[in-house]
Amino acid sequence: MTENPETFIFDFDSTFIRVEALDVLCEVIYDNSAAGTQILSEIQRLTDLGMEGKLSLKESLTSRINLLEANRDHLGAVIEELKNKVTASVIRNRAFFKQHSENIYIISNGFKEIIIPIVQEYGIKPEHVLANTFKFDHDGKIIGFDEKDQLCENKGKVYKIKSLNLPGEVIMIGDGYTDYETLEGGAVSKFFAFTENVSRPIVVEKADRIAPSLDEILYDLSYKASVSYPKNRIKVLLLENVHEDAVKIFEHEGYNVEVIKGALSEDELCEKIKGVSILGIRSKTHVTEKVLECAKKLHAIGTFCIGTNQVDLTACSMKGVSVFNAPYSNTRSVVELAIGEIIMLVRNTFDKSTKMHAGIWDKSATNSVEIRGKKLGIVGYGSIGSQLSIIAEAMGMKVYFYDSVDKLALGNAKKCSSLKELLALSDVVSLHVDGRASNKNIIDAEAFEYMKPGVIFLNLSRGHVVDIEALTANLKSGKIRGAAVDVFPEEPSNNEEPFLSSLRGMSNVILTPHIGGSTEEAQFDIGHYVARKIIQYINTGTTYGSVNLPEIQLPELQSAHRIMHVHENVKGILAQINTILSEYDNNILGQYLKTNETLGYVITDIDNFHNKELEKKLKKIPNTIRYRILY
């Protein structure tokens, strides 16, 4: 006996499975041959006409069967292929099907011989499969179907369901027009247009309920689903040309994704972020406390780059918003650009190339030198600075570095005791510092005074760490022989805005539009890394890789509820959580606690029993910042 009286009726093709079964039968028969491709295209056309009500079902079925020239021997391979093409949200909710098997039916204009072996694995009874049956000749060739069955006729699903005389509320879930007809014809009381695999405009327009996944349906009907919150309700906003693979990863997870190519201003983001659960940015969009005040549903921010200075991390922490970045993914790309620019600058390659394009042949070795033996001074010895150190040394340079934090020197690199010391001895200076406020104008007019005459200068870190006017003046005076600049204090928010700078037009300056980490490989890696970290956090609560919340690597959640509690780091929180759990007779299966200077993060796995009052009490614990539950 089920807790709810509803009867669920599922369409099969493009609902229970992701594809059309006869399409797969065609692929099995013709094995991607040219003839098969042509036949498949025609079968898909006939299927769509039938699903949209533009062709009678009997005509559609007859035409498709005649085109296929299929045999009974083909069906085994089709069934095995389709078992791997069950819809993702159906797979996630396998337990729902088994628990409510008495009240679940499959109805299809397809064929029992294919459907039953697949749905049986989900606990659905063969007698609850309402579908057509093939006709075979003595050689096993499929020559037709039982034309007396109502399901090969127009409105066949309506008549078939009515003939069952099902008690209580009957709910139809499907993607096609024939599925919608069951509501229109009075055979069911509710119809969900199922769009996880295909969205048919004619069906979506008529349906009053649209379901991007089975999770959404079960959530809407207050059934226990495989997830605590439907994934299609999790809105993702991605700005600044985040890599398309990240978009696909979020979409594949079932999230509702919106992409905007450029950056947004504070006011624009305040408006756009309402209702957003996940925000993805690069370096130009700033997430301020004001923005976070408007982000009531925000759970995670991904900075699809190395830096996080564009995000107010303190404000994020106090709202329980986890921030993830990609600290190593574009390291190699930045280092390779730096090496290339150093070589071009010491060889005057850029200036020589410009003259050649103007028709000037200027063959001369004057002021053209090797990098071998030259002293490279690296300001900032993090992941980029240290890797530049290794590669530059391998190419024969003598490497010196300065960092405000003690760092292990790699290879033969030597640490300088002060920035002034490093600037005074370097033939080439390359900046690789982060964007913290204290680094603003770390290279100013005074710093340029410490440098050698004829020094080569590179900034591939942050725009505001260099006084651009002081740099321009030293380039014009000849103190700096050449420079390469990839980042600027003020940058266009998109590719349509003009770039304005006093460095424009200088022959001894290489200007690039903030592309240090913009290689296909780096952006691919960043897209995958950050997207996966965020999804892992949303799905499991794991904060490993978060730059602001205490880091915990959690095991997979299995047959349990997971309670995640972010709070101010004060004593007694864990005891209060456990007291409340004890009051409601919950069995703790596992518990994890991690703190930092300001925050505590408790994860508690409890048995499957869950009580709404328990949830309210956990939220009301003093100093609670955020509470979330997963199952």
Beta-ladder partners of 456: 428, 482
Tokens of 400: 């010196």
Cα Rg of the chain, angstroms: 32
Instruction: State the DSSP code for 623.
Output: T
Question: 253 and 535 in contact (C-beta within 8 Å)?
Answer: yes
Of the candidates 268, 421, 491, 551, the residue annotated as catalytic is 491
C-alpha pair distances (Å), 505 with each of 472, 476, 491, 509: 11, 12, 17, 8
User: What mean pLDDT comes out for the span 366-384?
Assistant: 95
The set of long-range contacts for 435-442, using a CB threshold of 8 Å and a minimum separation of 24, is 435/307, 435/309, 435/310, 435/461, 435/462, 435/464, 435/465, 436/309, 439/464, 439/465, 440/464, 440/465, 441/465, 441/466, 441/467, 442/379, 442/466
User: What's the token pair of residue 160?
Assistant: 């078939």
Q: Which residue(s) pair with 509 in the sheet?
A: 483
Q: What is the 3-state secondary structure (H, E, C) of 382-432?
A: CHHHHHHHHHHHHCCCEEEEECCCCCCCCCCCEECCCHHHHHHHCCEEEEC
Which one-letter DSSP state was computed for residue 474? H
> Quick one: pLDDT band at residue 610, thresholds 50, 70, 90?
low
pLDDT tens per residue across span 141-199: 999 898 888 888 888 999 999 999 999 999 999 999 999 999 999 999 999 999 999 99
Beta bridge partners of 210: 193
pLDDT at 10: 98
Give 163-176 as a 3 state SS string: HHCCCCCEEEEECC
Residue 398's pLDDT band (boundaries 50, 70, 90)? very high
Per annotation, catalytic residue among 64, 200, 464, 514 = 514
Residues above pLDDT 70, as percent of the chain: 97
pLDDT above 60: residue 410 = yes
- Which amino acid belongs to residue 409? A
Q: Residue 605: helix, strand or coil by DSSP? A: strand
Strand order in the sheet with 588-595: 588-595, 599-606, 561-568, 624-630
Question: Distance from first CA to last CA of the chain, Å, rounded?
Answer: 24
- Residue 225: the pLDDT is 61
| Residue-wise pLDDT tens digits, 436-449 | 889 999 999 999 99
Mean pLDDT of 86-107: 94
Least confident of 220-234, 260-274, 605-619: 220-234
Per DSSP, 84 falls in state T
Q: Is the pLDDT of residue 527 over 60?
A: yes
Residue 462 designated active-site? yes
Question: What distance in Å separates the CA atoms of residue 514 and residue 113, rounded to the nearest whole number?
Answer: 59
Q: Which residues contact 530 (CB under 8 A, 6 or more apart)?
A: 246, 280, 302, 303, 304, 324, 325, 326
pLDDT at 614 over 90: no
Tell me the per-residue pLDDT of 205-260, one tens digit each, with 9 for 90 and over.
999 899 999 988 998 888 866 566 788 889 999 999 999 999 999 998 889 999 99
CB atoms closer than 10 angstroms to residue 478 = 10
* pLDDT (average), residues 579-607: 92
Give the residue from 326, 336, 307, 343 showing the smallest Cα distance to 516: 336
Range with lowest mean pLDDT among 270-284, 306-320, 611-625: 611-625
DSSP 13: I
Question: For residue 608, what pLDDT is reported?
Answer: 67
Give the number of other CB atoms < 10 A from CB of residue 322: 28
Strand 398-402 to strand 375-379: parallel, antiparallel, or no bridges (unpaired)?
parallel
| Residue 455 contacts residue 345 (beta carbons within 8 Å) | no
446 close to 418: Cβ distance less than 8 angstroms = no
Q: Using alpha carbons, select from 408, 414, 402 the residue that is nearest to residue 447.
A: 402
Instruction: Classify strands 210-211 and 235-238 as parallel, antiparallel or unpaired.
Output: unpaired
Nearest alpha carbon to residue 177 among 365, 77, 49, 64: 49
Q: Which of 200, 243, 462, 567 is catalytic?
A: 462
Which pLDDT band holds residue 1 (cuts at 50, 70, 90)?
very low
Do the beta carbons of residue 221 and residue 4 sit within 8 Å? Answer: yes
pLDDT tens readout for residues 539-573 = 899 999 999 999 999 887 777 788 999 999 999 99
- For the chain, the maximum distance between any two Cα atoms, rounded to a whole number of angstroms, is 96
Q: Is pLDDT above 80 for 282?
A: yes
Question: Is 491 one of the annotated active-site residues of the chain?
Answer: yes
Give per-residue pLDDT as tens, 483-515. 999 999 998 878 888 999 999 999 899 999 999
Residue 537 φ then ψ, to 5° = -65, -45
Nearest to 254 by CA among 281, 230, 279, 278: 230
18-41 per-position pLDDT tens digit: 999 988 998 899 887 888 888 888
Residue indicated by tokens 């394009």: 357
